[in-house]
């Protein structure tokens, strides 16, 4: 079974269309509602998703781990991480899965930098991303072209190998770091990202640094 895990927080405008678009490529869609205060859960259920709800807002990393637990309990063979805000393109799923299987990989990381389809905001591309890549390499020893890309595919071996301990956005550095530490095979694959709104920028980046510095996932 190929299962999509979609972490969502206050995504009532986009989540229904995201869920519906996934069903042409995925066997089952699981939306993890991270204590939204809008109708995210209802919209996801109406679109056909299985919805898991957090009682308190815990962060994207915790939402993905909740999805991982569901996937393990329901015998998923492969899982897809896919954001709920409509930024990803479902047409990337099939070729990514094909390459993932062909290379016998354990984790696939999406990258905005492996082709020219993504129009990356200037401040992200030239100000935020270069030091973030360096930071990822220093903390996890993993040299990826992209950082904090929410498109990933994992097989069951990867699911069983580790748990996500960083509840918030630092999970995006934790996952490749653990993949390398555990000897899991990983690849990158080009994916398209369409920006509907800007991310957290510098404040968001500093929050990730804080999580990593005070976290213990590199023990």
CA–CA separation, 92 and 78 (whole Å): 15
Among the listed ranges 125-139, 175-189, 195-209, which one has the minimum average pLDDT value? Answer: 195-209
User: If pLDDT is split at 50, 70 and 90, which confidence band does 136 have?
Assistant: low
Task: Indicate whether this model's pTM tops 0.95.
Answer: no
Tokens of 16: 């229904």
Among the listed ranges 27-36, 112-121, 195-204, 206-215, which one has the minimum average pLDDT value? Answer: 206-215
Q: How many CB atoms lie within 10 A of CB 168?
A: 19
pLDDT at 149 exceeding the cut of 70: yes
Closest CA to 152 of 79, 77, 51: 79
- pLDDT at position 214 is 43
Beta strands in 162-215 (DSSP E): 186-190
pLDDT at 166 exceeding the cut of 60: yes
- pLDDT at position 163 is 97
Who wins on pLDDT, 205 or 163? 163
Closest CA to 63 of 85, 83, 33: 33
User: If pLDDT is split at 50, 70 and 90, which confidence band does 128 have?
Assistant: low
- pLDDT at position 212 is 46
CA–CA distances in Å: residue 138 to residues 39, 134, 142, 148, 165:
40, 6, 8, 15, 19
Among the listed ranges 64-68, 75-79, 214-218, which one has the minimum average pLDDT value? Answer: 214-218
CA–CA separation, 11 and 83 (whole Å): 10
Q: Is the dihedral of CA 201, 167, 107, 99 positive or negative?
A: negative
Buried b (16+ CB within 10 A) or exposed e, 61-100: bbbbbbbbebbeeeebebbbbbbbbebbebebbeebbebb
User: If pLDDT is split at 50, 70 and 90, which confidence band does 80 have?
Assistant: very high
Residue with tokens 């896919």: 82
- pLDDT at position 144 is 87
CA–CA separation, 77 and 145 (whole Å): 27
- pLDDT at position 158 is 98
pLDDT at 207 exceeding the cut of 60: no
CA–CA separation, 152 and 187 (whole Å): 10
Question: Pairing between strand 50-53 and 28-33?
Answer: parallel
User: If pLDDT is split at 50, 70 and 90, which confidence band does 143 have?
Assistant: confident
Domain 2-214 has CATH 3.20.20.70: no
The DSSP secondary structure of 116-143, one letter per residue, reads S-----HHIIIIIHHHHHHHHHHHH---
Q: SS3 of 186, please?
A: strand
The DSSP secondary structure of 27-65, one letter per residue, reads SEEEEEE-S-SSSHHHHHHHTT-EEEE-SS---HHHHHH
Name the residue ranges covered by the structural domains of the chain: 2-214
Query: How large a percentage of the chain has pLDDT more than 70?
Result: 80
- CB 179, CB 80: distance < 8 Å: no
């Amino acid at each position: 079974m190929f299962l999509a895990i979609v972490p969502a927080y206050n995504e009532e405008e986009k989540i229904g269309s995201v869920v519906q678009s996934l069903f042409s490529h995925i066997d089952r869609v699981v939306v993890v509602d991270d204590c939204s205060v809008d109708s995210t859960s209802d919209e996801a259920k109406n679109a056909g998703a299985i919805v898991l709800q957090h009682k308190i807002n815990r962060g994207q990393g915790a939402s993905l781990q909740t999805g991982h637990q569901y996937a393990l309990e329901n015998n998923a063979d492969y899982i897809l991480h896919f954001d709920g805000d409509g930024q990803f393109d479902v047409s990337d799923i099939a070729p990514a899965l094909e390459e993932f299987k062909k290379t016998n990989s354990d984790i696939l990381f999406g990258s905005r930098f492996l082709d020219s389809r993504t129009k990356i905001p200037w401040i992200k591309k030239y100000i935020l991303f270069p030091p973030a890549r360096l930071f990822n390499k220093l903390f996890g020893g993993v040299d990826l072209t992209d950082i904090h890309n929410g498109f990933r595919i994992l097989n069951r071996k990867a699911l069983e190998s580790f748990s996500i301990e960083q509840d918030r956005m630092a999970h995006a550095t934790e996952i490749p770091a653990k993949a390398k530490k555990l000897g899991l095979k990983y690849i990158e694959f080009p994916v398209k990202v369409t920006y509907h709104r800007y991310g957290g920028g510098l404040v968001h980046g500093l929050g990730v640094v804080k999580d990593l510095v005070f976290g213990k996932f590199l023990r």
